[in-house]
Amino acid sequence: MLEILSRSGSIGGARIRVNVSRQNWKVHCGVGAVYSSRMSSFLFSVCFLLLWTVHPVTAGKPCDAKSFGGTSVVCVCNATYCDTMDPIVVPAKGLYLLYETNKAGKRLESKTGEILNDAKHPGLKLTFDTKKKFQWMKGFGGAVTDAASINILSLSVGAQGNLLRSYFSEKGIEYNIIRVPMASCDFSTHVYTYDDHPEDLSLQHFSLTEEDIKLKIPIIQQAQAMSRRPLSLFASPWSAPPWMKTSNSTIGKGTLRGEPGGKYYQSWANYFIRFLDEYAKHNLTFWAVTTQNEPTTGMIPDYSFQCMGFTAEMQRDFIVLNLGPALQNSAHKNVQLMILDDQRILLPYWAKVVLDDVHTAQYVDGIAVHWYVDQLTPADKTLGTTHHLYPEYYLFATEACTGYLPWEHTVLLGSWERGTMYSHDIIQDLNYFVAGWTDWNIALDLRGGPNWVKNFADSPVIVDSGQDKFYKQPMFYHMAHFSKFVPEGSRRVGLDASAATELESVAFLRPDGTALVNVLNRTPKDIDFMIWDLELGYIEARSTAESIQSYLWKRH
């Protein structure tokens, strides 16, 4: 998956041309006249240097593309074949590396080019400015749910390995974030908790289930074993056991019994600690927990799947009286705590209620958001305002998926538009101080499940267990342009457009000093532009129709 460059030049009146063939890496280096042996030797050396500066970059094994009649293609993988990436090798200073994915079928195709000293034509200019420094990045990933684990384990060992390597290995897109549901969620085959013994306030009967021991934990352990980047796990609960709740049910409207500080709230806080204890026995430690998945859904009568209600005030008091001290006084005092874990439309209100209480704020590290009504909520009024009010608390996107709307609930194999929905939202979030972005299920079946309440959805990877295959959707490759190229410890920097543009973009300085600019073009036309590095010069670029691109270059 490579665009090959052809270099030519003139030295001492001799025309030299270097061609790198697309097939079999054949090289032809010719001169246009016969010279003395010394001159020929000199020209050969120049030819070699010209070839060396081309820096052809492979993208590993190419996509085995297949159309299912969607707007783009999927890449087909099985036990013996799956597309891969070679390690990223950013070329020498003065050159740039470009990866491109587009609707027409490119998947992380790469090429190199030169950074120029002078702009050759006026036009749209994106100015890369490291004097403007913003948030540090935590990373990108997805959720290992019961459904995802069931689908992965339904494949042969070879196909399982290829799927997990696609996500977590250096030959894949190198996710470094994994979300883990605490007990069941809708993407389970049935409802369960870790303590279904009524009034067991001391949690003597607390225990992990087969879903943890046989499904989720083995998958996470495999991911860790094949990842060169440290994996950061975070956990989210959907519901407390029914006997702890006012509804005596895991579904529908219901909150914890009693008041914050009371025995049910304390038992629920201890439930978090026991979960962390049990996973630690399997050598799995957590970076963070969220206080409650979508706490507003537990305030909705007849809500159809696992939920539990909190108001912002209840969450504040639960943290300060129960959960915060429980974490601090446990072996998991370094586990970070994120509030909200719900739609950003609730910001900045939710953050004000919780974080304006200094006693509560001491236990909180971040603010978690979901994406489901982002199109109705301006990022500047929610994320932007919240960041400026509480800059010491990171913003983190913890859940997103497509195909979730009531009139959809379906997988669309090859949907380009669903991929651009991801990258559009990611770029917008990152430009408004979000430090990472988490997809929902990392793998689902052809129906978009299993899901016990039939709340089916789409996923970047769709498993066809009957054929021992899986399909990498366009969503997978849109995620790749962020998870692969924006490692933990990267920092967002300034990227200013010289004029109004339909391009969407975001820029970073990576820990190794490499510059990165991601550019999304959701239009049906090619758009020419320049990236201006104030220290190095210009990249003359073209954003092809319906594409996402990643530009990388060394700065020192």
DSSP 47-69: HHHHHHHH-----SSPP-EE-SS
Residues 244 and 382 in one domain: yes
Beta-carbon contacts of 45 under 8 Å, excluding residues fewer than 6 positions away, are none
Out of 100, 211, 399, 546, the active site residue is 399
Active site residue 488: no
* Residue 149, phi then psi, degrees to nearest 5: -65, -45
pLDDT for 119: 63
User: Is residue 79 a part of any domain in this protein?
Assistant: no
- Res 49: pLDDT: 36
392: CATH: 3.20.20.80
- Residue 35 CA, chain-centre distance (Å), reads 56
pLDDT of 528 > 80? The answer is yes
Helix/strand/coil for 321: helix
1 located within any domain = no
Tens-place pLDDT, residues 440-489: 999 999 999 999 999 999 999 999 999 999 999 999 999 999 999 999 99
Q: What are 114-159's pLDDT values in tens digits?
A: 999 876 667 899 999 999 999 999 999 999 999 999 999 999 999 9
Q: Provide the pLDDT for residue 57.
A: 40
- Give the residue from 460, 485, 510 where a domain finishes: 485
Does 269 fall in a domain?
yes
Per-chain mean pLDDT for the chain: 91
Same domain (yes/no): 249, 344: yes
Query: Is 63 within a domain?
Result: no
Q: Tell which residue, 441, 350, 364, 377, has the closest CA to residue 167.
A: 441
CATH number for position 522: 2.60.40.1180
Same domain? 279 vs 349: yes
* Claim to verify: residue 33 and residue 116 sit in the same structural domain: no
Q: Is 278 a catalytic residue?
A: no
| pLDDT over 90 at 411, yes or no | yes
Q: 524 preceded by cis ω (within 30°)? A: no
Domain that holds residue 16: 6-54
Confidence band (pLDDT; 50, 70, 90) for 407? confident
The tokens describing 286, both together, are 């957590």
Same domain membership, residue 294 and residue 213? yes
- Is 70 exceeded by the pLDDT of residue 168? yes
How many helices, marked H, and strands, marked E, lie in the chain? 14, 25
**Co-location of 273 and 398 in the same domain:** yes
Q: For residue 425, which of 484, 356, 492, 369 has the smallest C-alpha distance?
A: 369
Instruction: Give the 3-state secondary structure of residue 417.
Output: helix
Confidence of residue 556 (pLDDT cuts 50, 70, 90): confident
Higher pLDDT, 60 or 47: 60
Name the CA dihedral angle for 473, 417, 427, 87, rounded to a multiple of 10 degrees: 30
Residue 451 resides in a domain: no
The tokens of 81 are what? 């074949």
Question: Quick one: DSSP state of residue 299?
Answer: G
What span, in angstroms and rounded, lies between the C-alpha atoms of 461 and 435?
24
69 within a domain of the structure (yes/no): no
**Looking at residues 342-357, what average pLDDT do you find?**
98
Distance CA 249, CA 257 (A): 12
Q: In which residue are the tokens 């799947």 written? A: 305
Catalytic residue among 100, 174, 211, 294: 294
Instruction: Provide the pLDDT confidence category of residue 406 given band limits of 50, 70 and 90.
Output: confident
419 and 340 in one domain? yes
Region 190-194: what's the mean pLDDT? Answer: 98
> Are 497 and 366 in a shared domain?
no
Query: How many CB atoms neighbour CB 530 within 10 A?
Result: 20
pLDDT band at 47 (very low <50, low <70, confident <90, very high): very low
Looking at the structure, do residues 161 and 267 belong to the same domain, yes or no? yes
Shared domain for 146 and 191, answered yes or no, is yes
Q: Does one domain contain both 166 and 239?
A: yes
**CA pseudo-torsion sign 235, 239, 240, 246:** positive
Provide CB contacts within 8 A for 392, sequence distance 6+.
none
Q: In the chain, how many domains are there?
A: 3
pLDDT digits (tens, 9 = 90+) for 199-216: 999 999 999 999 999 999
pLDDT (0 to 100) of residue 118: 78
Could you give the CA distance from residue 295 to residue 292 in angstroms, rounded to a whole number? 6
Question: If you average pLDDT over residues 302-320, what whole number do you get?
Answer: 98
**164 and 258 within one domain:** yes
Q: Where are the beta strands (DSSP E) in 400-503?
A: 434-441, 444-445, 461-464, 469-472, 491-497
